[in-house]
């Protein structure tokens, strides 16, 4: 059995560890809500907004990757795990929470998009989403203060991208989005370009690693402007979205200074999700794909290259051997 507290605990894990939803529902599981409470809240609070609200969030990024659920041959999710459902106990007959998982490790690119020699060098190495939606017996989304809707989307950039001019590796941020609605009109939203390396030094110094590689540093300025527009921490009273509260110390390393993190729970919450959160989400997604397009262009033009895992491991071994030799030489005058 899964109740709201269990979902909330799971979301807390998502915000810190980006866990998978693969085991969220068991075949015999189910969501529960008191029948009288569910019907009363549903009657009073059924949303006037489009039933495709949460699905719009889900599809927006995937459409940018030209993903087609019915035709994609690139999915890394076994057919038996792509979708699952669990009845909402105590709700009108046929109401269920449906979970769907998408994951691809290769983007669809036409021959016109990239030179043949660079066709396998892709800036995104993995795109994954888990989407939970409360649906009616006719498979339509059911949006009310008593329903569950969850989107977890993560875009992982390629690792071992190297700049040939400096022979140095560059680290790109990970895109993460969590948009969560829980029974009781509770809404949690987290959007971020998550840092690959810790931004703050452990010694407490003011210096920090860069969120973006130097050649793409202008994207940090763009991200800062977007974040300030929706969540100005300097003047909270003017923020379009209130700050969601302090992030636990053990999780702060995984968030950038431009994390958009909010909690909503008043009578206008669903309206804010459908307008302000929707706008912010699209701006964050659009900027991340603008970054990825720039990186992809540099890969296609040979300004950057990707070192395959075996080569990277060999270079690491050689580097450690050289370091060991230097230490040995310095200890033997």
The tens digit of pLDDT for each residue in 228-240 reads: 999 976 776 778 9
Task: Please determine, for residue 285, whether its predicted confidence score (pLDDT) is greater than 80.
Answer: yes
Q: Assign 102 a pLDDT band (cuts: 50, 70, 90).
A: very high
Task: Please determine, for residue 181, whether its predicted confidence score (pLDDT) is greater than 60.
Answer: yes
Task: Find all residues with CB under 8 Å of 181, minimum gap 6, and list them.
Answer: 54, 143, 147, 148, 149, 150, 187, 270, 273
Mean pLDDT of the chain: 76
Strand 83-89 vs strand 31-32: parallel, antiparallel, or unpaired? parallel
Least confident of 122-136, 168-182, 206-220, 258-272: 206-220
Task: Please determine, for residue 88, whether its predicted confidence score (pLDDT) is greater than 90.
Answer: no
Average pLDDT over residues 34-62: 62
Count of C-beta atoms within a 10 Å radius of residue 127:
23
Average pLDDT over residues 292-303: 94
Task: Please determine, for residue 5, whether its predicted confidence score (pLDDT) is greater than 50.
Answer: no
- Provide the terminal-to-terminal Cα distance of the chain, rounded to the nearest Å: 69
Q: Assign 261 a pLDDT band (cuts: 50, 70, 90).
A: very high
Task: Please determine, for residue 116, whether its predicted confidence score (pLDDT) is greater than 70.
Answer: no
What pLDDT score does 187 carry?
A: 93
What pLDDT score does 24 carry?
A: 37
Task: Please determine, for residue 8, whether its predicted confidence score (pLDDT) is greater than 50.
Answer: no
Average pLDDT over residues 141-155: 87
* CA atoms of 263 and 241, how far apart (whole Å): 8
Q: Which residues are registered as beta bridge partners of 155?
A: 127, 175
pTM: 0.78
What pLDDT score does 50 carry?
A: 47
What pLDDT score does 7 carry?
A: 41
Apex 44 CA angle, 42 and 49, nearest 5: 75
Question: In terms of Cα–Cα distance, which of 230, 212, 226 is closest to 292?
Answer: 212
Where is mean pLDDT largest: 87-91, 110-114, 200-204, 274-278?
274-278
Q: Assign 120 a pLDDT band (cuts: 50, 70, 90).
A: low
In the chain, % of residues over pLDDT 70 = 67
* CA atoms of 155 and 285, how far apart (whole Å): 10
What pLDDT score does 46 carry?
A: 47
Question: In terms of Cα–Cα distance, which of 149, 191, 181 is closest to 265?
Answer: 181
């Amino acid at each position: 059995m899964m109740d709201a507290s269990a979902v909330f605990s799971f979301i807390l894990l998502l915000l810190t560890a980006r866990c998978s939803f693969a085991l969220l529902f068991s075949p015999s599981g189910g969501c529960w809500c008191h029948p009288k409470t569910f019907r009363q809240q549903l009657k009073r609070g059924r949303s006037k907004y489009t039933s495709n609200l949460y699905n719009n969030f889900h599809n927006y990024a995937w459409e940018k990757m030209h993903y087609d659920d019915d035709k994609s041959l690139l999915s890394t999710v076994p057919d038996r795990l792509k979708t699952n459902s669990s009845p909402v106990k105590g709700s009108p007959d046929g109401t269920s929470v449906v979970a769907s998982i998408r994951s691809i490790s290769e983007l669809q690119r036409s021959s016109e998009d990239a030179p043949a020699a660079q066709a396998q060098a892709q800036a995104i190495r993995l795109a994954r989403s888990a989407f939970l939606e409360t649906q009616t017996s006719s498979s339509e989304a059911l949006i009310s203060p008593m329903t569950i809707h969850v989107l977890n989307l993560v875009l992982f950039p390629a690792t071992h991208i190297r700049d040939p001019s400096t022979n140095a590796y560059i680290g790109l941020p990970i895109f993460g989005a969590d948009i969560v609605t829980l029974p009781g009109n509770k809404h949690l939203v987290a959007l971020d370009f998550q840092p690959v390396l810790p931004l703050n030094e452990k010694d407490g110094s003011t210096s920090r690693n860069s969120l973006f590689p130097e050649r793409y540093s202008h994207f940090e300025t763009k991200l800062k402007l977007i974040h300030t527009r929706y969540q100005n921490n300097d003047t909270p009273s003017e923020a379009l979205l209130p700050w969601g509260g302090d992030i636990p110390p053990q999780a702060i390393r995984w968030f950038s200074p431009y994390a958009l993190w909010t909690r909503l729970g008043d009578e206008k919450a669903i309206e804010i999700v459908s307008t302000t959160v929707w706008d912010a989400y699209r701006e964050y997604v659009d900027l991340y794909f603008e970054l990825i397009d720039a990186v992809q262009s540099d890969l296609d033009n040979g300004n950057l290259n990707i070192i395959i895992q075996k080569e990277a491991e060999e270079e690491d071994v050689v580097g450690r051997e050289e370091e060991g030799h230097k230490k040995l030489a310095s200890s033997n005058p």
